[in-house]
Amino acid sequence: MRTIIVANAKGGCGKTTIATGLASYYATFRNKNVVLADLDPQRSSLDWLSDRPKDRAVITPHRPDQGPVRKSPNIDVVIYDAPARSHGVELSHLVRRGETLLIPVLPSPLDMRAARNFLEELYALKTVRDGHIAVGIVANRVREHTRIYQDLAFALGRIKIPFVGALRDSMNYITAA
């Protein structure tokens, strides 16, 4: 069972958009049995799932009150949509759930600073430091040929965390199901 966590301590960076996009991708194009675990109190991922057309590939919802997602031969992929402001013990418990942690970062000075602080806290955790979870950064809502994107790419290039990719600033991600 593959487990992917989409997290960043900052709100509004695209965690839910990326989590729902990944869930849809694995269910639709990889024909995987997917669980979308929404840990955010806003429940935006679960709202997205309930609004999703019923003729689409099945994605199973999971709420925190259901307890942890348990390993099962019926589950191929679990995507966790983490809440903003995950710190301390909550962050430590969160990273122990996954194999992969994706961190969305917007191309703005405020977001880059928040991401740097989040990464420092993350790498203070033994689970992350010892490599028990793969960590990658996704540049989100970028316009490739802008100065701020170049600044973000430069900043990401200086840290030793894989830069997984960039999602351009497009409404297509928001409207995709």
pLDDT of residue 52: 94
Range among 19-23, 122-126, 167-171 rated most confident: 19-23
Q: Which of 99, 162, 85, 163 is closest to 128 using CA atoms?
A: 99
Q: What are phi and psi of 169, to 5 degrees?
A: -75, 100
Please write the tens of the pLDDT for every residue from 83-100. 988 888 888 998 998 999
pLDDT of residue 168: 64
Tokens 């689409």 sit on residue: 56
User: What is the spatial distance between Cα 3 and Cα 102, in angstroms, rounded to a whole number?
Assistant: 11
Please write the tens of the pLDDT for every residue from 28-83. 999 999 999 999 889 999 999 999 999 999 999 999 899 889 999 999 999 999 99
Give me 7's structure tokens. Answer: 């997290």
Q: Over the chain, what is the mean pLDDT?
A: 86
Q: Taking residues 124-141, what's their average pLDDT?
A: 89
Domain positions in the chain are 2-175
pLDDT tier for residue 19 given thresholds of 50, 70 and 90: very high
User: What is the spatial distance between Cα 14 and Cα 102, in angstroms, rounded to a whole number?
Assistant: 11
Cβ atoms of 59 and 23 closer than 8 Å: yes
**CATH fold group of domain 2-175:** Rossmann fold (3.40.50)
